[in-house]
Structure 1
Amino acid sequence: MWSEIVRPEAPYSIHRLFSRLSMDPLQAINTADKEIKIPLVINHTKEVITINAYGDEKDPSFHLSGELEEHKSISIQKVKDMFDLDMDTNGIMKHFDGTELQELVANYIGMPIICEPDTYSALMKNIVHQQLNMKFAYTLTYRFVTKYGEHKNGVWYYPTPDVVSKLSVEDFRELQFSNRKAEYIIDIANKVNEGDLDLQQLTELTNKEVYDKLLPLRGVGPWTIECVLLFGLGRKDILPAGDVGVQNAVKKLFDLSSKPSKEEVYAYNKKWSPYSSYISMYLWESLSG
């Protein structure tokens, strides 16, 4: 066993972290005790990492513990990446100080970008979530993972490409997936399983290169790629301008008479860069208060 204490730069919103995680029934969280368990695969070994949060946004700390000492440094870095524990809060505040977004940033600063354990999980999840309301999207993902994934020490691992590639469209239909979405997921799992798609390689590519790599895949469009960049690769300058929630939040924020187009939302990106991902998170959060 190993343990480590990680102290992110304040402010860091532990409350918003747990609030966002609690939306997903797959997450192994205990809100009362501020405990999270996450599924990692390190060197082909499945390991469960336990994270306990302490303090508040002005004095946050996270106590991490895991099973295998030889995986300690990789596990710590993965947790930091997943929960944005190296977030540059001071840089974000300084960038938007005196701008039209100063109030929005002040309201939500410290809210982290929360990533999936790996790029494969992020891609699978966001294909499932395409064009669905949030509640049903989480329900479908839960059915898919708990039916074909692996359960270990209280956490769920996404079904591997090898498992998914052997499924049929009918298997997915039993879970209430559409035929087309089932085909997309099986096709991508086949490509990963056969070595035609290396998702690990995406970590080394630029945003543009990731687009070029993923866009030819059936069922993968700009929204899905942007979500993979955000929630799979943890990129900090992503604005999913075609997302209805982002558009509605921009309309609300600037008191517009109608919902802005994707192109109109993208136009803001020049001013919000290099922290567009955080503004995306704040915009989504502003819709719920």
Structure 2
Amino acid sequence: MPRTPRNRIAADKGGSPDARQAHASDSATFLIHPVLPFRLDLTVWALRRRPGNLIDQWDGETYRRVLIVDEMPFEITVAQNVNRSRAVRVTIHGKISDSRTKKAIRQAVENAFGMRVDLSSFYRFCARDSRLAPLVRRFEGLKPPRFFSVFDGLINGIACQQLSLSLGIQLLNRLAQNFGRPAPGGDPLAYTFPRPCDLAHCHPMELRRLGFNFRKARAIIEISQAIVEGKLNLEKCASLSDQEALQQLMELHGIGRWTAEYTLLRGMGRWHIFPEGDQGARNGLKRWLHLHGAFDTKREQRVLAAWEPFGGLIYFHMLMKGLDEAGHLALDP
């Protein structure tokens, strides 16, 4: 497992913003050359999951999100060149004080969109499988995305527990609108994902009013408090083995196996994990394979065993197949 770098995105502590703004520029643009094949549009959809996602915004050409780096909000836009290089252009809007900000955002974007992930072994594997080959060709260029922090992944998992994905994302939108920070310039439609320090002092009723049940509200607040108080380090958890990370996460209030595995896949980049008990992915798998009868966890695991160690990549392709069938993707018939 690759070493997880220190995450400066949405950090809880930082230097004086006023001091840093004294020598700040308002924007910066740079190019990233991803490992090919890479399609930004497909990877953005795998990250945002539903068109109603207000945190990860996409207009068909440009991805947009607000990040916090060392206590300062920045709006980023990401677009891919249509020329042969397929380079990705990233623009940062906000008071950029030094090169560390640009470096942190570059690293965050590369991680979030899997730009350094080489899927050549996966493509070779799928080319030999009559079922996987057409599915993977359909979405060639999709990279496995990950949330911008492990905390982001864990809270996403909690919000979506035992709900449809669309309803879970509505809860996350409300959480960002009420507890996130607005984009530089005060755009009312763009907010950061809340940090632990934004949620640690909430009262459960504040989250209940947004639509979270009491168990989810308690879990979000207690996890945030533990991080702020230094009792929990989720980024350090990302350096543990699968079993150790699962055990640590499942010791937290309100975290079961599905949420823990979802966090490992989407928050830590464990691309071999297909979250156990994900009903949407399981139903998609069953439809795609034209299976009949009960499709429980044991049967799901038997099916996935033939495709190890690529369970998480199959999971993302099931998501994309559903989005494609719903007409959200700009793909040829």
TM-score surpassing 0.5?
yes
Deviations 1:14-39 (A, max 9, x none): 3323444363432353524x222333
Cα contact 2:79–2:88 (8 A) shared by 1? yes
Q: 1:36 to 1:250 in 2, by over 3 A?
A: closer
Equivalent residue in structure 1 for 2:227, among 192, 217, 222:
192
Q: CA deviation at 1:271?
A: 2.8
1:91-130 equivalences in 2 (<5 Å): 91-99=121-129, 100-130=131-161
Deviations 1:117-144 (A, max 9, x none): 1111111121011111122111111111
Larger RCO: 1 or 2 (CA < 8 Å, sep 6+): 2
Equivalent residue in structure 1 for 2:177, among 146, 153, 158:
146
For 2:78, give the aligned amino acid.
Answer: I
For 1:216, give the aligned amino acid.
Answer: E
Structure 1 residue runs without a partner (length 5+):
none
Deviations 1:137-181 (A, max 9, x none): 111111111111211235422333233221112112211221221
Helix, strand or coil at the partner of 1:150: coil
Deviations 1:58-93 (A, max 9, x none): 752211233342233332221111011123232211
Q: Is 1:232 paired with 2:277? A: no
Cα contact 1:118–1:232 (8 A) shared by 2? yes
Identity %: 22
TM-score normalized with structure 1 length = 0.90
Deviations 1:83-116 (A, max 9, x none): 1112323221101222242222222232222222
Cα contact 2:271–2:311 (8 A) shared by 1? yes
TM-score normalized with structure 2 length = 0.79
Q: 1:25 to 1:228 in 2, by over 3 A?
A: same
Helix, strand or coil at the partner of 2:230: coil
Moved over 6 A (4+): none
Cα contact 2:150–2:234 (8 A) shared by 1? yes
For 1:274, give the aligned amino acid.
Answer: P
Cα contact 1:248–1:259 (8 A) shared by 2? no
For 2:82, give the aligned amino acid.
Answer: G
1:1-289 equivalences in 2 (<5 Å): 1-20=27-46, 21=48, 23-27=51-55, 29-32=57-60, 34-55=61-82, 60-66=86-92, 67=96, 68-99=98-129, 100-153=131-184, 154=187, 155-288=190-323, 289=325
Helix, strand or coil at the partner of 2:64: strand
Partner Cα separation in structure 2 for residue 102 and residue 28 of structure 1: 30
Partner Cα separation in structure 2 for residue 284 and residue 262 of structure 1: 18
Partner Cα separation in structure 1 for residue 297 and residue 243 of structure 2: 18
Partner Cα separation in structure 2 for residue 203 and residue 209 of structure 1: 10
Q: CA deviation at 1:214?
A: 0.4
Cα contact 2:55–2:193 (8 A) shared by 1? no
Q: 1:226 to 1:102 in 2, by over 3 A?
A: same
Partner Cα separation in structure 1 for residue 254 and residue 37 of structure 2: 38
For 1:81, give the aligned amino acid.
Answer: N
- How many residue pairs get aligned? The number is 287
Q: CA deviation at 1:200?
A: 1.4
Partner Cα separation in structure 2 for residue 125 and residue 282 of structure 1: 19
For 1:261, give the aligned amino acid.
Answer: D
Cα contact 2:272–2:308 (8 A) shared by 1? yes
Structure 2 residue runs without a partner (length 5+):
1-26, 326-333
For 1:131, give the aligned amino acid.
Answer: Q
Helix, strand or coil at the partner of 2:268: coil
Moved more, 221-230 or 44-53: 44-53
